[in-house]
Amino acid sequence: MKSSHILLFVGILIFSWSPTFAGISNSLMDISADGSLLICSNRDSGTATVVDLKTNDVLHEIPVGKHPEGVSFVGSSKLAAVAIYDEDKIVFIDTTKGDIVRTVEVFDEPYGVVSTTDGKRLYVTLDFPGQVLELDPATGKTLRTFEVGPFTRGVTLRRDESKLYVVQYYNALVSQISLDNGKVTDQWSGSRTDNLARQLVTHPTREKVYVSHIRSKITSIHGQGSIFPYVSVVDSVPGEERRRKRIPMDAF
C-alpha cells in the first residue's frame, strides 16, 4: 500500500471524527458541538436515533418520516435538522427531549444538510432540482435558493463559511458557491467514469476538498470493466495546474 494512501486515509479519519467540525459537511450522522450527543438518521425505519456518547446509551428514537437522509446539529445547540427525502421536508428535533419542534416543507428531495457554526443558517441540497436552499432555522423560512445542477447531493462549508462546496451524484462534479452572491464561482469535473458521489468534506486547515465516490467502467465485457471506490482530492484555490486528482481506495 502506498504511503500517500495511508496518510490520506488516516488524515480523513482524524479530522472527520473531530467534534469541533461537526455540522459543516453532510452526513447520515452528526455529533453535537460539545461532543456529548450523536444523532443518526435511519433510512429503512424512517427514524432518527439520539445516542449519549458518554454512556453509549440510546436516548431517543424518533419517527421522522419516509427515507431520512442528511442530519446536522444547528450550531452549538442541541437542535438537529433532518432531511426527509421522500416527503420533501426538513424536520427539527430537540435532541434532549426527543421531540419534533418544527417541520419545514421544501420543494423536492432534500438530501444534504449543513449548519453554520453560529447556527443562524442551514444549507440544504435538493437532489433532482439541483438546488441549494439557505434556511433560517429560527423561523424555518427559505432566504435564498441557489441553482447548481441536477442531482446535487453532497454539501460542505468552507472553514471560514464564505463558500459552499456541493457535488452532483451521477458525475461527481464539484461546484463552489459564493455565499456573498449565491453564484457558482468555480467547478471541478471528474473523469467520465466517476459517479455515485454523496458526500464531500473540506480540510480543516488546508484549501482541500475530499469527495468519496466510485468509478464505474461498465461498457466493457468479459471482466474488463470495473467498479472501484475512490477519493478525489480537489485543490480549491485558483491555479493553472491540475486541481483535482483521484486516489483509488480498493487497496484497503
Model-level pTM? 0.87
Of 105, 164, 115, nearest to 140 (Cα)? 105
Q: What is the separation of C-alpha 102 from the centre of its chain, rounded to a whole number of angstroms? A: 22
CATH 2.130.10.10 spans which residues of the chain?
A: 22-147
Q: Which CATH architecture has domain 22-147?
A: 7 Propeller (2.130)
Spatial distance between the Cα atoms of 212 and 167, rounded to a whole number of angstroms: 10
Cell of 221: 465485457
194-213 per-position pLDDT tens digit: 999 999 999 989 999 999 99
Q: Which of 14-23, 91-100, 140-149 has the lowest mean pLDDT?
A: 14-23
DSSP state, residue 241: S
CATH 2.120.10.30 domain residues, the chain: 1-18+150-252
**Fold for the domain defined by 1-18+150-252:** Neuraminidase (2.120.10)
Residue type, 199: Q
Q: Provide the 10 A C-beta neighbour count for residue 183.
A: 11
pLDDT tens, residue by residue, 59-87: 999 999 999 999 999 999 999 999 999 99
* Model confidence at 186: pLDDT above 70: yes
pLDDT band at 218; cut points 50, 70, 90: low
pLDDT reported for residue 20: 45
- pLDDT of res. 133: 98
From residue 186, give the alpha-carbon distance in Å to each of 96, 134, 158, 189, 237. 40, 19, 13, 10, 10
DSSP one-letter code for 25: B
